[in-house]
Amino acid sequence: MEPLELQGLRPEELVEGLEARGVRLPLAQARRIFAHTVGRGAAVDEVPRVSKTHREALACHTRCRRLEVVEVAEDDDGFSKWLLRCPDGALTEAVRIPLDKPGRYSVCLSSQVGCAMRCDFCATGRLGLTRSLEAWEMVAAWAAVRDATDDGRITSAVFMGQGEPFHNYDAVLRAAAILSHPNGGGIAQKAITISTVGLIPQMRRYTREGHRYRLIVSLHSADADVRRRLLPVAGKLDLEDLARAIAEHAAATGQPVPVAWTLMAGVNDDPVEVERLSTLLAGTPVIVNLIDVNDARPDGYRRSPRLEPFRDALAAAGLPMRRRYSGGSGRDAACGMLAARRASP
């Protein structure tokens, strides 16, 4: 049997996994092991008050692997991009984001190596999908950033890096559960955000299961043809059905649903889009997150000069808006720019 990945299991699951291998581990000891290895980044042999028998069993049946830090690129605005190598050589990226309160950071985590959604304005989308990350790899990416953050603390996490989180649903939700466990990442559930381009069946499952992490839906256009061009995979799904899934989530949580809108010159920045959006989501509480496009290609999408009229149109339509700053563009660490270009060992 393959060794158990300690960073991918909650304490109860560690107990079950070892029991399947003929080892009985008390839950209290599993919690201690989890707290030290995941919560504090300690090695298994550094965990206190573990019997010799259990220590030998852990050495035989478990492992706690780290990701290799290939490169850390710091931007002038305080954002830093981390290029990480998995044991099989696959590269993944994470971004450390400074928050308003000094000494507090968020980590933007990838859920896949590449992405299958093919979003036209996203560098990751142009890579194609190599594979999905396992839950332990996402937790290990968070741990790599945490362990190097000597000047502060990671207080939140967002699954908005490479990949579509709901295309790797079970692993992402497992990673979120470990990050939000009080003995694991210790991050409040409401401080974890999961993004989706609008995979409707997974959105409905997520709503039905009653998760308390924040959900943000990447909409980008309320015109079906425009959205299909911008999001070739997700755009094939019925826009009206997506609107119903958003409404269902809002009703189930009693909270407005954030919808991401990457503003692009001449594409989705006309106030007529606001009219369509208002009609599409009529009666559904949402918060429109306005984001600047980041496209380094000479012939790529450009930032809109019509931000003010677009914001005015949102206000006139009664649609709450949040301006989301996308930092790290100087190091290709901003929204839509993650592409893990250094592929050589």
pLDDT of residue 151: 76
What is the distance between the alpha carbons of residues 252 and 187, in angstroms, rounded to a whole number?
Answer: 23
Q: How far is CA 304 from the centre of its chain?
A: 26
pLDDT of residue 130: 95
What is the distance between the alpha carbons of residues 264 and 268, in angstroms, rounded to a whole number?
Answer: 6
Give the three-class secondary structure for 58: helix
Model pTM? 0.94
pLDDT of residue 152: 82
In sequence order, what are the beta bridge partners of 4?
Answer: 62
Q: How would you classify the pairing of strands 68-74 and 80-85?
A: antiparallel
- Burial (CB count within 10 angstroms: exposed 0-12, middle 13-18, buried 19+), residue 210: exposed
Tokens at 4, concatenated: 């158990």
**What is the mean pLDDT of the segment spanning 211-221?**
97
**What is the mean pLDDT of the segment spanning 222-227?**
97
pLDDT surpassing 60 at residue 333: no
- For residues 280, 286, 287, 292, the Cα torsion angle rounded to the nearest 10 degrees is -40
CB under 8 A, 24+ apart: contacts of 52-60:
54/23, 54/25, 54/29, 57/18, 57/21, 57/23, 57/25, 58/33
In sequence order, what are the beta bridge partners of 81?
Answer: 73, 95
What is the distance between the alpha carbons of residues 140 and 192, in angstroms, rounded to a whole number?
Answer: 16
Give the three-class secondary structure for 262: strand
pLDDT of residue 341: 59
Q: How far is CA 134 from the centre of its chain?
A: 13
Q: Which residue has the higher pLDDT, 152 or 108?
A: 108
What is the CATH code of the structural domain delimited by 68-331? 3.20.20.70
pLDDT surpassing 80 at residue 328: no
pLDDT surpassing 80 at residue 165: yes
pLDDT surpassing 70 at residue 345: no
pLDDT surpassing 80 at residue 326: no
What is the distance between the alpha carbons of residues 213 and 173, in angstroms, rounded to a whole number?
Answer: 9
pLDDT surpassing 80 at residue 286: yes
**What is the mean pLDDT of the segment spanning 99-115?**
94
**What is the mean pLDDT of the segment spanning 99-106?**
91
**What is the mean pLDDT of the segment spanning 12-34?**
96
Express each pLDDT in 108-147 by its tens digit. 999 999 999 999 999 888 889 999 999 999 999 999 999 9
Express each pLDDT in 48-92 by its tens digit. 999 999 999 999 999 999 999 999 998 878 889 999 999 999 999
Point out the catalytic residue in the list 93, 137, 164, 273: 93
| DSSP one-letter string for 279-309 | HHTTT--EEEEEEE----STTS--B-S-HHH
Q: How would you classify the pairing of strands 321-324 and 80-85?
A: unpaired
| Mean pLDDT score of the chain | 93
* Band (343; pLDDT cuts 50, 70, 90): very low
Q: How would you classify the pairing of strands 104-109 and 153-159?
A: parallel
Q: Which residue has the higher pLDDT, 78 or 248?
A: 248
**What is the mean pLDDT of the segment spanning 234-255?**
97
Compute the half-sphere exposure of residue 77: CA atoms within 13 Å on the CB side of its CA: 17
* Band (336; pLDDT cuts 50, 70, 90): low
Is 93 among the catalytic positions? yes
Q: Which residue has the higher pLDDT, 124 or 212?
A: 212
What is the distance between the alpha carbons of residues 41 and 87, in angstroms, rounded to a whole number?
Answer: 18
What is the distance between the alpha carbons of residues 274 and 222, in angstroms, rounded to a whole number?
Answer: 8
Point out the catalytic residue in the list 86, 115, 119, 335: 335
Is 119 among the catalytic positions? no
pLDDT of residue 295: 83
Three-state SS annotation for 187-222 = CCHHHEEEEECCCHHHHHHHHHHCCCCEEEEECCCC
What is the distance between the alpha carbons of residues 207 and 283, in angstroms, rounded to a whole number?
Answer: 18
Tokens at 43, concatenated: 């090695």
